[in-house]
Chain A
Amino acid sequence: MSGRLLKGWRPLVVLILFFFIWEIVVKKAGIPAWLLPAPSQIIQEGIASWASFSAHLFSTIKLGTSGFLIGITIGLLTAAILYLIPVVRESVYPLLILSQNVPVIVLAPLLVIWFGFGMLPKIIVITLVCFFPVTVAALDGFKQTAPDLKHYMRMAGATRGQLFWKLELPHALPSIFSGLKISATYSIMGAVISEWLGAKAGLGVYMTLASSAFRTDRVFVAIFAIMFLSLLFFGIIILIEKLLVRWQSKGAK
């Protein structure tokens, strides 16, 4: 663990250097705040407007979390169905890939037209960006079940159900988690986009308010908040993975 921390110092130094140069350049060149605020201004603004900002933040967290949970549930179910019923996989999987080329920013306004400004269209947007990485990863995981293990299980008399629950599902866990990590970061982005296109609160709304008031510093506060949330979600998934997929980390020692 301390090794991990030690390893982290380099990027941290680069990051601090980056902010330092940014600060200096903004100050020396006298760049106006509406064009590019200095990091110090952004931090100040973040602290100063925390009261009004936090409501938006929590709203996004709530939306992102629920969308994420629904999205990954659908993603996992889809993967299981596609894997277990080959006919469905062959006829539907290519279309799922196609569905990922539907531009969300174009679709989102249509969703609002169809489903209004409530939770439904937002959840659909987040689900749409969330479910696919999980489906692909889980399907990959299922498919890549070591053939020798599968052969052993079948020779040992495992039923189809036993094969799935005792072998294929646990075997796919690491792969599923790498899908979940991607989905987790996407869910925040999805939440912001869906809020941006119509909502009462959330980082997306905060950003709109900020940019129409020419408060570039607040736009940056929102950008950093989004990055932080993405990292947070990512971290939480890694934590859960550590707890659930323990046999691997032991092996890696």
Chain B
Amino acid sequence: MAGEAAVKVPYREKRPFDYSQYIRKGKLPHIWCAGCGHGIVLKSLLRAIHASGLSKDEICMVSGIGCSSRTPGYVDFNTLHTLHGRAIAYATGVKLAKPNLKVFVATGDGDALAIGGNHFIHACRRNIDMVILVYNNYIYGMTSGQASPTTPQGMVATTSRYGHIDPPFDTCEMAKAAGATFVARGTAYHCQELEKIFYEAIHHKGTAVIDILDSCPTYYGRLNKMKSASEMMLKVEKDGTVPVAQAAKLPPEKLEGKKLRGILYRAERPEYCEEYFKLIERVHG
């Protein structure tokens, strides 16, 4: 059942939301630059987690290396900050050792799709239960602005000064093709919609991949002549995307250059841990 981004969330959180119940004491301010969307994404996630009723002890958040991968350090869960690209592999070990944990992977476009591409597709193939958040800001932020596997063609990075010629990956298409059973795209700009996508992803059994368009004003913005974080959010996240439900009604020319937003794909398929524990029962004695 593809489509339907307008998910009903059975709650109306009292505002303002008390983030401090999830943020580790003394860890703010975070290291992210002014205008970086990662904080918006994190806040959306925390609200969704709260709505889902998961306790902090039930959650494990694993990350690799990069700006987004600093997320676990701030949140009061079981947290693991690992090697560049390898978060999903570590998360696989944690999940199989403690299948009752809800495992989140905080990763970036470079971390998940370049150095960690192999682990990414194999997690999708196994359909192991974890929520993979790809903070996609089109650039390597931590290492100061090199091109990533999602940098659009023609854009500038510190390693593509003459305009990037590599075609980018479409995170969602790749996740779907590799076998992920929940594939969605959200943006930091549409933070409430993102919260709902997270909420749905948390309740999904299997590999959930969310491509989160998010901005890096410090490098991507500056190198590509976007004056402010807000301008980037409007150009890339607001005007660059169309809700999947609306897209069906739009003529092709209106969709050109736009990315679909919302839950793009959802399927039911046996989940890896459940299958393994069935196997244990089968051969146990």
Q: Do A and B belong to a common assembly?
A: no
Query: Which positions in B face A, CB cutoff 8 Å?
Result: none
